[in-house]
Amino acid sequence: MRLHTAHPIRPTTCLIPKSPIQRPQWQRIASRLHPPDPPPQPPHPLLCRRCYAVSSPRPSAVSPDTPTLAKGKSHGGGENPRWFAFLRQEMYARKFAPLRSRLDAGQEHALRATLEAFLPEGWGEVGGNILPPGHHLVYFNPALSENKLLPDGTDPLQSPGQPFERRMWAGGKIAFARDHWRTEVGLEVGGSAEYVCVERIKKVDMRGEGDDAKIFVTIERRVARLSEGEKDVESLAERIREEGKKHDGFGNAVLIEQRILVFMRGRTEEEVRRVRDGPVVLPSAPSISHTLTPTPSLLFRYSALTFNAHAIHLDPEYCRNVEGHRNLLVHGPLSLTLMLTLMSQHLRTLEGPRHVVQEIEYRNLAPLYCGEELRICAREKRIAGVYDVWIEGPTGGVAVKGTV
């Protein structure tokens, strides 16, 4: 069997100027995902400018003898097909350059300014020079040139390739080293300390069959402080990678994060028309909550701070006409930052010894949309020191759910 793709565009071997393109991004992507019948003539070379990046920085999901997950077909028996085993092996072998950085105080100030209007007065006031939980997400982001991005604005580093072209942030986990709130241990903002972020693909799974198949990619990121005078960053990065493969302990790391991304096939025009909200998960009554309404400016500024060009956060026409959503989507990392901000603020009000967030695990269950009210909630469980955290959408259903 052959892998079903919709009239693939052959990549060009040179970069083409972008200025002649006049159509919005969603129209260019939609025309490639849903070509008319009969098939069109080969596109003008200008339309290939981003496809150059799709094929160049990473291997395709297809090997020469790749079977398909064609419409209506199953990979059968619960076993992974041969092509997926090939893909998983290739993805495990990928190595990412370590990201080295001081934690610039200007970036932290910009994030606080971005969130300030959406939070109660005083929530952004954090004593000391340690990065608040969740604020690390605006650091250690790869800076690829635009011609290396995929057509939807995402980077190709963890992508399995065609036909799994739609990416969503499914959930994850963050764990902080013990005493991470102390300057000599934690993530120091505006100081002389340097840090390195080491990333690897930890797990690749496929769920579903045929056109419903989805590929889940678990990424592990470890952030460690560089020793004074440390010069061989590559050797340190390799040691940190090996630590992650051998055990779940911190080793040299100050912070360990797992991100779960899900990659899906592009939607047909009919599927775009049928997109609806997912099932409503009824929430519990919170003991702490805060309500806000995300705006286009908030999403744009957070995208800029995280160097994230994903069109689902920036282009409402793309969201409606290609992805089938009614408006811009709130970032998964932004939702995570808001939950951690709520919890950090609550813990600062508790009496006794210092209380800090040590770990959070969460899942994204349904989209949160720009311009629609959301409520960040938390409630302590019967186990002391453990909290349920969640975000409710405008209809009261749970969109994000986690445990701190």
CA distance 350 to 80: 50
Domain 25-403 = CATH 3.90.1150.10: no
Once rounded to an integer, what is the mean pLDDT over residues 194-218? 94
Tell me the angle at which helices 296-305 and 332-348 cross, rounded to the nearest 10 degrees: 90
Distances (CA, A) of 111 to 202, 291, 298, 375: 29, 19, 10, 20
Which of 313, 339, 203, 335 lies closest to 261, judged by CA? 203
pTM, rounded to two decimals: 0.79
Tokens read off for 193? 């300390």
Rank 65-74, 75-84, 97-106 by mean pLDDT and report only the highest.
97-106
Average pLDDT, the chain: 82
pLDDT for res 276: 61
Among 45-54, 216-225, 293-302, 341-350, which stretch is predicted with the lowest mean pLDDT?
45-54
Average pLDDT over residues 284-302: 96
By the 8 A CB rule, do 75 and 166 touch?
A: no
Determine the distance from the C-alpha atom of residue 342 to the mean position of all C-alpha atoms in its chain, rounded to a whole number. Answer: 21
How far is residue 101's CA from residue 80's CA, in Å, rounded to a whole number? Answer: 39
Mean pLDDT: which of 44-53, 77-86, 222-231, 377-386 is highest?
A: 377-386
The pLDDT assigned to 127 comes to: 66
- pLDDT at site 59: 42
Q: What angle do CA 17, 18, 23 make, to 5 degrees?
A: 150
Quick check: 49 pLDDT over 90? no
